[in-house]
């Protein structure tokens, strides 16, 4: 094998490693870019749809989209996911939930950058969770409640209302679970 061929192989191997590194997201620049893009997109969608909900929806008169199944209804949720803790009345509840959310987001971001061997699906999932959490934290800071408006139901049985931030969190957690299951399957 000639020297030129060896150099070409080294260049190819180096390029392959760089591509692999970018695809699996273990470069700091890639990690930051992915996190920033996903968080900004989720936040913009979430804040925009919540602004529309506050401007056009009523808690009393839902806008039926699919009769008997889906409507847009303004709900100001003082609890957390699916209305948990909404029955507890306290003047500091909003601040405690905001602080808890902030600590949780901080830990997720630390793990996002600390974990070296994370697959791209898991990174994407964590970024969705962070974006969704920020969206709900902004509401909790502004209103002491979270703006929910997506209302799925069957007859008189309603799934708790939710928003785009909640969707991002749910999709992110689903990606994390799928990634974990695939990792177990690979072993």
Average pLDDT for residues 57-69, to the nearest whole number?
Answer: 94
**Residue 179 in this model has a pLDDT that exceeds 60:** yes
How does residue 186 score in pLDDT terms, banded at 50, 70 and 90? confident
Active centre residues (catalytic): 148, 166
Q: What are the CA-CA distances from residue 51 to residues 45, 77, 110, 168 (Å)? A: 10, 15, 30, 17
Is the residue at 13 inside a domain? no
Residue 70 has pLDDT above 90, yes or no: yes
Domain, as residue range, for 89? 25-186
Which residue reads 């408006």 in tokens? 149
Asked if residue 166 has pLDDT above 50, the reply is: yes
- Residue 16 covered by a domain: no
- Percentage of the chain beyond pLDDT 90 is 65
Asked if the structure places residue 99 within a domain, the reply is yes
* Residue 42 scores a pLDDT above 60: yes
- Is 18 inside a domain boundary? no
The average pLDDT across 82-87 equals: 59
Q: What is the pLDDT of residue 12?
A: 47
pLDDT of res. 16: 47
pLDDT of residue 92: 77
Number of domains the chain contains: 1
Residue 17 lies in a domain: no
pLDDT at 37 over 90: yes
pLDDT score at 184: 85
The answer to whether position 150 is within a domain reads yes
Residue 15 lies in a domain: no
Question: Could you say which DSSP state residue 71 is in?
Answer: E
Rounded CA-CA distance 117/64 in Å is 46
Give CA torsion, residues 67, 70, 73, 79, to 10 deg. 140
Q: What does DSSP say about strands 63-66 and 157-158: parallel, antiparallel, or unpaired?
A: unpaired
User: Mean pLDDT, to the nearest integer, of 18-25?
Assistant: 53
pLDDT tens-place string over residues 93-143: 778 889 999 999 999 999 999 998 889 999 999 999 999 999 999 999 999
């Amino acid at each position: 094998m000639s020297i030129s061929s060896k150099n070409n192989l080294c260049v190819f191997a180096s390029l392959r490693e760089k591509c692999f590194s970018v695809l699996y997201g273990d470069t700091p620049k890639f990690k930051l870019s992915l996190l920033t893009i996903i968080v900004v997109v989720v936040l913009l969608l979430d804040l925009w749809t919540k602004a529309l909900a506050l401007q056009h929806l009523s808690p009393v008169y839902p806008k039926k989209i699919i009769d008997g199944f889906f409507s847009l209804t303004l709900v100001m949720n003082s609890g957390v996911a699916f209305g948990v803790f909404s029955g507890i009345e306290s003047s500091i509840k909003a601040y405690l939930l905001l602080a808890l959310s902030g600590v949780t987001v901080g830990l997720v971001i630390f793990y996002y950058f600390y974990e070296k061997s994370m697959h791209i699906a898991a990174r994407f999932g964590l970024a969705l969770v962070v974006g969704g959490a920020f969206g709900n934290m902004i509401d909790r800071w502004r209103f002491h409640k979270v703006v929910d408006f997506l209302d799925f139901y069957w007859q008189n049985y309603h799934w708790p209302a939710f928003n785009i931030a909640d969707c991002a969190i749910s999709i992110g957690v689903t990606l994390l679970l799928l990634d974990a299951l695939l990792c177990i399957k690979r072993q």
